[in-house]
Amino acid sequence: MSHSQEAKQAYSLNKLQKRLRRLAGQAVGDFNMIEEGDRVMVCLSGGKDSYTLLDVLQHLQRVAPIKFDVFAINLDQKQPGFPEHILPEYLDTLGIEYKIVEEDTYSIVKDKIPEGKTTCSLCSRLRRGILYRTAKEMGATKIALGHHRDDMIETMFLNMFYGGKLKGMPPKLMSDDGQHMVIRPLAYCKEADIARYAQSQAFPIIPCNLCGSQENLQRKHVKAMLNEWNTTHPGRVESIFTAMQNVVPSHLADHTLFDFRALQKDEVIDGGDIALDKPEFPSVPANAEQDEDEQTVQIQAIELS
């Protein structure tokens, strides 16, 4: 590789790193994910997303105007062939507090789920319970997960297609046991950017299919659909995510979110009824005109510069 090519590649990777850090900082600020004195537990699976999450949060910890702690947790589920040495060795190089939790959920899942069936659902429930327990033992005030923008969009379509709900994966929520605050600082980050960054950083990736389970078939179909749209209709996926942040209850059909019964004559809500008008949409999807690196981002709670 020539010197000019190396310089160009270094410049591109630097932009990528800054973009991920900026978007994570924006998400943290927009949803008040991290506050003064927080003790943030990063759930490290060994995949590209959680490695990137830890990397970004460590940077945020260094530059943020507030003080908070970050520590990593990995759950060793005793899957055959799991490389137990990789994560401890990597975390030792970072000099970060961490804990490896050993729980043989693999045997439980294999005992309960018939051969050939997807094990991910039960495995996830078991893992979630163990992580909640560990967060309490370690005094964590926030549990950080590595889900990104594409995960959130996929989940919304899965709920629409198979669950009959307009529901997604929120950037911040209370855990299902009501005891823990779960945050997703990568909520604004694209999976493609995360994959490229993980490769550039040479994170020691551990495959997630050691148990032999295949990815949920429904999610694979949704992911393939979104990938096709991203190729044939650039900007559509970005527009979908923008729509998730611009909900208009008065123009949907959930009477529990908007009081249609109380709507009175001469009361125009959100532009009124234009259903019979000829639809006019921009030729370019929302948020597709601007390059991300040129967009001005206001980070309210935490500055990432």
Which residues belong to the annotated binding site?
120, 123, 211
Q: Provide DSSP, 147-201.
A: --HHHHHHHHHHIIIII-------SEEE-TTSS-EEE-TTTT--HHHHHHHHHHH
Q: Is 216 helix (H, G, I), strand (E, B) or coil?
A: coil
Instruction: Give the span between the Cα atoms of 109 and 126, in whole angstroms.
Output: 9
Counting Cα atoms < 13 Å in the Cβ hemisphere of 111 gives: 5
Which residues belong to the annotated binding site for [4Fe-4S] cluster?
120, 123, 211
Q: Could you tell me where the DSSP H helices lie in 177-273?
A: 191-201, 217-232, 236-244
What are the distances in angstroms from CA 46 to CA 104, 157, 191, 207, 257? 17, 26, 16, 8, 40
